[in-house]
Structure 1
């Protein structure tokens, strides 16, 4: 898994325009209740009292709206992981928390917001920029924690940093990928995340 550079999502109209945010809020609501596939641009336009043509001034397609919603959902996970990475805990403890939090929040999206989870699955399967940006954010967060662990003398520093981060990001995939989450029960995933976290830490600690 190579590190990916965050990609700017295509958008029309001023990025911070309140209408654009209104469209995203309407999309969140509709996708949450009806699902991505059963919601049309016309449905969203009707919900906020504008024409479909007006919506297209801000988003070039339904997929672009889906990207924005997916970015919102995955961005909340990224923010939680960044908060862990910036804490004062040891690098080992932060890495444990990253694994556990990534799984718990991904499962919450899967079970509590199933229709939003389904959008994330579409994003992953079709390589949407929102999914790529999520992976890039995770890689950056890992790099920060591993680098600080090396600087403090907690982790070994002989293995190339990018190689370490790529490996850890790869073994984290089953605990966050929307499609792979469906292959195991939460209990199985929780058991595996603990085993893999311990294995990763044994390979890092000096």
Structure 2
């Protein structure tokens, strides 16, 4: 039996990494294709073969990466949430005061989902289904925690008066979601900047 050398181990690790990178790329391509098809036909009317066709792969190949349409939806949702987290984090770096950070947080989320209107509508529909409610609640809880963190940071820096933040976090999130839905439906008369300013003013007034 030939000896396993350092070079062969390195080569094996490199091949494994390349296979993983190719698999990650293919998953990304499938998710992108799924978002296109979901936006066009809606989640309920989309078939797995529609996604496979859009991705340019065989239906059997699709099932090597996702075992169901619901699994594709969950991966697409996580993909979108990761993009949103990174975008919010990046923009918050240039915001200093509590008001600026809240305005950036709210405005970025609204801008992101406005650009992803079809996906947002799908999330609002599928996310309310019984088997998805726990996942949806977890995502909303994470967002509320982010809002609460921004508020606590403002309190620690002495910009905001010491007060409980939990209810404010939920109120801000409810306002964001409501305005997002109306905007996606074409029924929100104000701009994203105006909405962000309004929500920020309402939230911070509680701490003054």
**TM-score scaled by structure 2?**
0.69
SS in 2 for 1:204: coil
User: For residues 72-114 of structure 1, what are the alpha-carbon distances to aligned partners after superposition, in whole Å with 9 as ceiling and x for unaligned?
Assistant: 234333332233444441112111222223223332322xxxx
SS in 2 for 1:39: coil
- Give the distance between the partners of 2:151 and 2:140, measured in 1 at CA: 16
Query: Which of 162, 165, 178 lines up with 2:166 in the alignment?
Result: 162
Equivalence for 2:6: none
Equivalence for 1:8: none
- Give the distance between the partners of 1:131 and 1:45, measured in 2 at CA: 26
Query: Which of 11, 23, 27 lines up with 1:17 in the alignment?
Result: 23
1:91 aligns with 2:98: yes
Could you tell me how far 1:16 is from its partner in structure 2? 8.2
Q: Is the 8 A contact 2:31 2:72 kept in 1?
A: yes
Q: Is the 8 A contact 1:45 1:51 kept in 2?
A: yes
- Root-mean-square deviation (Å): 3.3
Task: Number of aligned residue pairs: give it.
Answer: 186
User: For residues 13-59 of structure 1, what are the alpha-carbon distances to aligned partners after superposition, in whole Å with 9 as ceiling and x for unaligned?
Assistant: x8983343332232133334444334311222344555434433432
Greater Rg by CA: 2
Query: Which of 84, 87, 96 lines up with 1:77 in the alignment?
Result: 84
Name which structure has the greater RCO, CA cutoff 8 Å, separation 6+.
Answer: 1
Could you tell me how far 1:70 is from its partner in structure 2? 2.7
1:173 aligns with 2:177: yes
Question: Please, which runs of 5 or more residues in structure 1 have no aligned partner?
Answer: 1-13
Q: Is the 8 A contact 1:150 1:156 kept in 2?
A: yes
User: Aligned in 2, Cα 1:44/1:189: closer, same or farther, shift over 3 Å?
Assistant: closer
**TM-score scaled by structure 1?**
0.70
Question: Please, which runs of 5 or more residues in structure 2 have no aligned partner?
Answer: 1-19
Equivalence for 2:152: 147
Could you tell me how far 1:203 is from its partner in structure 2? 1.2
Could you tell me how far 1:128 is from its partner in structure 2? 5.2
1:68 aligns with 2:71: no
